[in-house]
Copies of this chain bind each other. A is one copy, B any other.
Amino acid sequence: MIDLCLVGAGFIGPVHAANLAAHPGARLKWVIDLNLPAAKALADKHGARAGGDLAEALADPAVRAVIVCTPPRTHTPIIEAAARAGKAIFCEKPIDLDVARVDACAEVLMATKVPFFVGFNRRFDPTHRALHDAIRAGEIGRAEMLILSSRDPEISPPDYVAAMPYGIFYDTMIHDFDMLRWLLGDEPVEIYARTACMLDAKENPHRDPDTAMVVLRMAKGALVHVNSSFRAVYGYDQRIEAFGEKGMLISGNQQPTTVERYGKDGIRRDPLLHFFIDRYAESYKRELDEFVQAIEARTAPTIGFDDGRRALMIAEAGVHSAKSGSPVALPA
């Protein structure tokens, strides 16, 4: 049984807390949040202790791991403190918004050698994983093109957008930048990005890009396209298409029911699942399970700090390309 401390009782924290509660090998012992009432509410629900100060939880020798789900710019100090306290770390993506800070953090981690897991949950989705496994098993031979459609049903609130400019790269497509590395087992060497503001001034007052198209070249030659939007009115649109010398694999969308309604105007199915927490409910469970099992078995998680760092680098290069209008080379 592993005791854990969750840092950040906000948006995604309760999802991880509920999954910990249902996990047979894990126990939520602490919930830490600067907003103490939020920490208390979440802790009470799951029989954990609440606190406003991380140090208190890190001092608890029973705590073996920390789940970091605070805003991205607060991640690195928490990671460093947890690492110095010898705790295993599960950190939400992105690790940070600044590669230099991430590199500094990497040094602390390397010195402490604590297990580190970055929460790219999409790798754990059963459908995406089946596509990954089929590529690896050679079903399409050499992969030649990869197309990722990654569209949110709505934009984040203005405060959230203001806190993370170019969030469509750092927060949304960063998932796709991780997925393309994982699916192809390859690294990109160049990125070209174009963005647009399609939402009106009321929905997107900061005029931050809400629409994007990206093309990447991979070291082994494959071409990759990513498109993203913050306005998929029909639901959370998450598709992957891998094309290769022997065929094509498509990971399609998901709907709440399979009902088909036939009428005079045609045949209608449900809109897509609207919310990422519904769409990726299973992924959130499975990533946490892998993290817990890796701690228990003292093995390295299959996804680590360098994966988080590389996805951030690609996002950063994509932002440079979008701003300059020219393709940007990526270091090998």
Contacts and interface: CB of A to CB of B under 8 A. Distances in A.
Interface in A227-264: 227, 229, 231-234, 237, 243, 245-254, 256-264
B257 A127 contact: yes
A269 B271 contact: no
Contacts of A222: 196
A290 interface: no
B258 A233 contact: no
A261 to B, nearest CB: 6
A270 B267 CA distance: 6
Contacts of A223: 194, 196, 211-213, 227
A105 to B, nearest CB: 34
Interface residues of A, number: 66
A36 interface: no
A302 interface: no
Nearest to A151: B243
Contact of A251 (B142, B258, B262): B258
Interface of A: 22, 126-127, 130-131, 134, 139, 142, 144-145, 147, 149, 151, 192, 194, 196, 198, 211-215, 217, 221-225, 227, 229, 231-234, 237, 243, 245-254, 256-272, 325-327
